[in-house]
Structure 1
């Protein structure tokens, strides 16, 4: 491994939400305690340094000394096409690519562009909280096709319920999250085909959030929905933000093959321009970031194994599996037979570790905690030691 992901980079005083945003985090109600000793592992960005090619590209952009309005050059689109063809055998037409300053923003725009107030939109809880916020905030109706959870802590799709909801006259959209946040499932080809067939049958538009699609375990395969579904009823969200730890550069690229849908989306969102730093970043990582990504995946796989082994040994009542994709682990605390509020207090206030309460992801997540693990292992180990200490009396 050429990249040293064990290096601890001090992110304090760098405008980091995780490390400098204590006041905001408390105002949002995520925790009651946040101080200089807090270990924040709640949000999906990494405490790991980006590829050197990206650093070099940003330095070159800085040296231009002027940072005005920018265009998307051909090399921007070619970099996207090259990446997805090589990594996922997905051919993307340049004309189908639409830039958006973020995936949550894009999903909000899609809801406004393609649905009307009170229309139903299917999500699969436990689900990334901004899906619910986007639906309800725009006056639409959440239709929850809750994932099924078995004794092996494995999640599957309730297809009977999915079709019942898709068949309703008011149902207009399905937001697919694959790899799924927070469960880490990568949906198999047969699952994607069945979802796509149901949506086509009932004329339900699929919005596929695939921004974790590059962050998969070494032995897993991710299949873009665009290779499965009728592309005339599909829009896909892709991004460099999660893969390369550049969430602050705001770079999502929508793939919208249907010309009418593409025009509707652009009309609703308005013309968006990225910063020159965003443009140079994408070109750099998609052209020269693959080796770094393979090193990152190896490191994350190792960290997940470390977390799993620690939990099994020190906190065996917690159920956790290594997810198929993402850098998120979804931990079930239900066997402690204490309230979610007490679980929260022991982790957030006593251990002073900031995770995300599963209740934020819907009632299906009430007994769970979400931890984001792409940080140096020494930091993760310290957080785990603190948490385990606060549950010793319950073992």
Structure 2
């Protein structure tokens, strides 16, 4: 490993939502307590330094001294195409790539472009909260195909329920999260093909959020759904450098839309979008020269996840926690502790002064759970774990 991810980079006073956003976080009622001693592990945002190639590319852009309206050069599209061909054996045509300033933005645009008020949209809870917001704030009908959790914390799809919901005449869309946030599941080829077939048969559009697709465990394989089906005209896919390379602040999502008709409708709904020169330079740099860094960061994340699992197994054996197949998120089940979700929250957020995300935010299936994002130096993660364990010593 060539990168030192144990280095603690001080992110305070850098406009960081995670480390400087106490006022906003309190207003959102995520916690009553947020101070200089708070350890925030709630946001899907790494505290690990980005690739040097990215730093060099941004310095070069700064040195230009003018940051005006910018075009997408050929290198931008080639970098995307080469990355997905090399990493996932996925052939993407240049014209299929549509830039969006964010994945949540893209999902909202898809909802507005392809559905009407009161149309049904399927999601699979517990799932990333902005999926719910995109449906409800746009006056669409939420259809929950809840994932099924076994005793080991492993989640699977209820296909009978999914097909029943897809067959409803007003169902127009399925927003899929793969790798799944927060459960960490990577859906396999047979699952993806079955989902695609049901949707195609019932004229349900799939909007696939695959932005964690590069952040997977060493023994796992991620398959873009549009790559493994014969007909991808009913699929649009959100990809991004944001999670993979820790550049969420640069706002760079690329939506892959094979269908000419769907692509034009999406662009008309969203309007023309231009990226900053920093965003363009960043994507080219990381997709062309960031692969070694990615392999290093995946190895580091694997080690941190193993550390977290072993710590909880030893210090908090009642806690149910599975190693995720993908993402840098771990989904903690406190249901066996016999205390209310509110007390779990109080012990972690107010007493331990560690900021996670309450599982209820991901739907009722997440009650008694907590989501922890672990892409920080291990010293920070370990201190957070020790604080949490101390507050549950009386319940061991």
TM-score normalised according to structure 2 size:
0.99
Correspondence for 1:40? 40
Alpha-carbon distance in structure 2 between the residues aligned to 1:38 and 1:339: 23
Alpha-carbon distance in structure 2 between the residues aligned to 1:36 and 1:99: 37
Alpha-carbon distance in structure 2 between the residues aligned to 1:312 and 1:52: 36
Correspondence for 1:317? 318
- Where in structure 1 are there 5+ consecutive unaligned residues? none
Alpha-carbon distance in structure 2 between the residues aligned to 1:19 and 1:187: 33
Q: How does 1:301-316 map to 2 (within 5 A)?
A: 301-316=302-317
- TM-superposed CA distance for 1:246, in Å, is 0.1
Q: How does 1:329-368 map to 2 (within 5 A)?
A: 329-368=330-369
- TM-superposed CA distance for 1:50, in Å, is 0.1
Q: Secondary structure at the match of 2:142?
A: strand
Q: How does 1:21-36 map to 2 (within 5 A)?
A: 21-36=21-36
Correspondence for 2:279? 278
Correspondence for 1:141? 141
Q: Secondary structure at the match of 2:36?
A: coil
Alpha-carbon distance in structure 2 between the residues aligned to 1:295 and 1:92: 26
Q: Is it true that 1:266 corresponds to 2:267 in the alignment?
A: yes
Q: Secondary structure at the match of 1:238?
A: strand
Q: Secondary structure at the match of 1:5?
A: coil
- TM-superposed CA distance for 1:62, in Å, is 0.1
Deviations 1:147-173 (A, max 9, x none): 000011100000000000000000000
- TM-superposed CA distance for 1:231, in Å, is 1.2
- Where in structure 2 are there 5+ consecutive unaligned residues? none
Deviations 1:324-344 (A, max 9, x none): 000000000000010000000
Alpha-carbon distance in structure 1 between the residues aligned to 2:351 and 2:394: 14
Correspondence for 1:16? 16
Alpha-carbon distance in structure 1 between the residues aligned to 2:68 and 2:32: 41
Deviations 1:207-259 (A, max 9, x none): 00000000000000000011133211010000000000000000000000100
Correspondence for 1:256? 257
RMSD over aligned Cα, in angstroms? 0.4
Alpha-carbon distance in structure 2 between the residues aligned to 1:392 and 1:308: 17
Contact in 2 for aligned 1:357/1:369 (Cα 8 Å):
yes
Alpha-carbon distance in structure 2 between the residues aligned to 1:269 and 1:28: 28
Correspondence for 1:212? 212
Stretches of 4+ moved more than 4 A in 1?
none
**How many matched pairs?**
395
Contact in 2 for aligned 1:67/1:275 (Cα 8 Å):
yes
Correspondence for 1:298? 299
Correspondence for 1:94? 94
Contact in 2 for aligned 1:196/1:228 (Cα 8 Å):
no
Deviations 1:6-60 (A, max 9, x none): 0000000000000000000000111110000000000000000000000000000
Alpha-carbon distance in structure 2 between the residues aligned to 1:390 and 1:202: 50
Alpha-carbon distance in structure 2 between the residues aligned to 1:370 and 1:234: 29
TM-score normalised according to structure 1 size:
1.00
Correspondence for 2:85? 85
Correspondence for 1:372? 373
Contact in 2 for aligned 1:123/1:144 (Cα 8 Å):
yes
